[in-house]
Structure 1
Amino acid sequence: MTDSASNSGLTTWQKSMLLAAALVLAVGLFLVRNGGSIESPLDQLARRSLPPEVALSNGRPTILEFYADWCEVCREMAPAMLEVEQRHSADLDVVLVNIDNPRWLDLTDRYDVTGIPQLNLFSADGTMRGRSLGGRSETELDSIATALMDGSPLPALAGFGSTSPLPETATKDSTGPRSHA
């Protein structure tokens, strides 16, 4: 084997090792950024959600969040909501309702969802105590959760926060902004 052949093999080997190291680092950074989970916080919350009718009748206070996958504010708020849900999971239900799923059209109509994220806040007996429209910080979400669990007055939150408006229907014959028809 000549020197040029062994140098060429070493260079290919080095390139392969650098590529492997870069891939390992990229996967590691992705997992660290997402809390060790490949699922986004919004997907984790949606997957863990009880059906609304179960949450509203199981004797625990409930935060019912209307959201959409395309909603930037919903995605930005999701890590904070996930933290609150995990911290209070024994005493509080956090339920996500995707407005783009036709299954939930009756709920979006019943609760007059006009923008997202919209949080409907319920006491342990299923009585609606309030509504919050727009993004909320983890501190605000935690104070809402605490008030619901304690049965104390809901915090007075300034403003409504950022929202993502629902798309308007294209025509009168359209089935609505939540439809993919």
Structure 2
Amino acid sequence: MKKGVTIALVVALLVVGFAVFRFVNSGAGSLAATPNPEERLAVALAEKRPVFIEFYADRCPACVSMKPTVTELKKKYGDKIEFILADTDGTGMGLAIDYQVMYIPAYVFINSEGERVGGDLSGYMSKEKLEGLLQALL
């Protein structure tokens, strides 16, 4: 009887562990790279819309840890600020070169006048700091 309970418990733990693994690795709730980031930037600037650019790569642990924060802030500010997610391993490489990105994650803030504000920012950033910088664009 005790052996049967132990086996059932092990099987239940394996099922739960597998479900958690699948959810974590599914990218649920994560953001995708912006297609044609240079074009999106040009359109946003022409419309005099503030822009937030995050340069990232999926291989970067700090970039991956920032995804939930950026996702949440995009939901909150995406109607007022153009969010451009530039994958430096893909379509965002040209934009990264244009902005002389040396480290990822890196962040660029452009106000509605097309001026870069906030300086060179890179690395993990708290939600509060990132949100404060986004609010300054408005």
- The separation in 2 between residues aligned to 1:137 and 1:124, in whole angstroms, is 24
Distance 1:142 1:106, change over 3 A: same
Choose which of 133, 137, 144 in structure 1 pairs with 2:126.
137
What residue number does 1:25 align with?
16
Q: Show structure 2 runs of 5+ residues with no match.
A: none
Aligned letter for 2:40? V
Choose which of 101, 104, 108 in structure 1 pairs with 2:96.
108
Question: Is the contact between residue 120 and residue 128 of structure 1 (CA under 8 Å) also seen in structure 2?
Answer: no
Helix, strand or coil for the counterpart of 1:141? helix
Aligned length: 132
Where do residues 118-133 of structure 1 align in structure 2 (5 Å cutoff)? 118-124=106-112, 127-130=114-117, 131=119, 132-133=121-122
Greater Rg by CA: 1
Question: Is the contact between residue 105 and residue 123 of structure 2 (CA under 8 Å) also seen in structure 1?
Answer: yes
Offset of 1:128 from its aligned partner?
3.6
Relative CO higher for 1 or 2, CA cutoff 8 Å, sep ≥ 6?
A: 2
Q: Show structure 1 runs of 5+ residues with no match.
A: 1-6, 151-181
- The separation in 2 between residues aligned to 1:110 and 1:104, in whole angstroms, is 10
TM-score normalised by the chain length of structure 2: 0.72
What residue number does 1:93 align with?
82
Offset of 1:107 from its aligned partner?
1.3
TM-score normalised by the chain length of structure 1: 0.58
Question: Is the contact between residue 56 and residue 105 of structure 2 (CA under 8 Å) also seen in structure 1?
Answer: yes
Offset of 1:40 from its aligned partner?
6.0
Deviations 1:29-81 (A, max 9, x none): 5588x5xx83166xx2225x354222542443221111122222222322222
Helix, strand or coil for the counterpart of 2:43? coil
Choose which of 30, 34, 40 in structure 2 pairs with 1:54.
40
Deviations 1:162-181 (A, max 9, x none): xxxxxxxxxxxxxxxxxxxx
